[in-house]
Amino acid sequence: MQKLENVPVFTLYGEQHTEETAEFIHIEPIASRSRSLGWQIRPHRHGRMLQCIFIFAGSVTTHLDDEHYDSEAPCCIAIPPGMVHSFNFAPETEGLVLTVAENLIINDDQDRARPYFEHLLNQAEVIEFLPSDPELAQLRQSLEQLQTEFRSLATGRWLMCEWLVRMVLMSMSRKRLHSDHIEQHTHEPVSTLQEFRQLIEHHYRDQWRVEDYASALNTTPSRLNRLCKQAMQRNAKSLLQERLLLEAKRKLVYTRTHIDQIAFDLGFSDPGYFSRFFKQQAGLSPRDFREKH
């Protein structure tokens, strides 16, 4: 069984991890790496890099941690930094792979793009398009321009690439927001949900309650639940449980850590309670889940 820390960390698939800089952007056709590998990309991670896969013809099975998604063109898949993922593309699938340093996407806490893009750094997204969607036409146009700039030696090349990357990400976010029926006349609900996601990443091991998160967000538990149901069709507690379960699954599959120690690492004082929580959520005991995977 492979340890999580031994899952390969690449900047680009097959290329060893290097120091990532603010101006790091890379774009290439899916076929440029996948064709020679039989259209299969094995499990790996990227460091502080967001990767987006755009499928314009063909299909792909994407494995994200222990989940898998079957997607057909047109669609895009956004994979946040650090997530273990792999792909099985249908032969001759057409599309692009865009890899971007996370500090290029969001520069600082005052960045006006934060409410739109932060979710891409915290949660995997599979965004499906209809051929008639205006966001799809805009996305393809921006990607074509980005490829042209990426290959050029023109003055201001990196600045232009950065602007075009943000146009690509905005097209993705618009489609996501429309699909989730989040109100567009205000940024505030989107911002609150992204802050909630970020707090979960920082505190899920501390076993914070919904009330603790609501207090940190200067809102009420009922309003936080309402926003979560509106955007993700789940209440806040379900999102906390899902994140805790995901980390438990990662540790069971990618490490040899004893189950009791995993329970303590995730904030459970009683390993028996952890086992009951895991079986209720996953349908298997931790031991059975580890053996199966």
| pLDDT at res. 135 | 86
- Binning pLDDT at 50, 70 and 90, where does residue 179 land? low
pTM (predicted TM-score):
0.60
Is residue 203 within 8 A of residue 244, CB to CB? The reply is no
Is residue 100 within 8 A of residue 143, CB to CB? The reply is no
From 133, 155, 180, the end of a domain falls on 180
Q: Assign residue 55 the CATH number of its domain.
A: 2.60.120.280
Does residue 87 register a pLDDT over 90?
yes
Domains: count for the chain? 2
Cα distance between residue 46 and residue 90, in whole Å: 23
Q: What do you get for the CA distance between the two ends of the chain, in Å?
A: 9
- Binning pLDDT at 50, 70 and 90, where does residue 73 land? very high
Specify whether 138 is located in the same domain as 237: no
Q: Assign residue 272 the CATH number of its domain.
A: 1.10.10.60
Specify whether 151 is located in the same domain as 200: no
Cis peptide before 115 (omega within 30 of 0): no
| pLDDT at res. 7 | 66
| Lowest-pLDDT choice from 67-76, 77-86, 177-186 | 177-186
Does residue 1 register a pLDDT over 50?
no
Specify whether 9 is located in the same domain as 118: yes
Domain range for 246 is 188-292
| pLDDT at res. 27 | 93
From 127, 160, 180, the end of a domain falls on 180
Specify whether 148 is located in the same domain as 228: no
Q: Is the dihedral of CA 41, 98, 61, 90 positive or negative?
A: negative
Is residue 68 within 8 A of residue 85, CB to CB? The reply is no
Specify whether 134 is located in the same domain as 195: no
Specify whether 52 is located in the same domain as 10: yes
Residue 253, beta-bridge partner list = none
Residue 62, beta-bridge partner list = 69, 87
The 3-state DSSP class for residue 69 equals strand
| pLDDT at res. 4 | 55
| Lowest-pLDDT choice from 2-11, 156-165, 179-188, 261-270 | 179-188
| pLDDT at res. 8 | 58
Does residue 21 register a pLDDT over 50?
no
pLDDT digits 0-9 by tens, 164-173 = 999 999 888 8
Specify whether 40 is located in the same domain as 139: yes
DSSP H helix total and E strand total for the chain: 12, 10
What the block records as the tokens of 190 is 């989107």
From 180, 206, 238, the end of a domain falls on 180
| pLDDT at res. 262 | 95
The 3-state DSSP class for residue 255 equals coil
| Lowest-pLDDT choice from 42-46, 146-150, 265-269 | 42-46
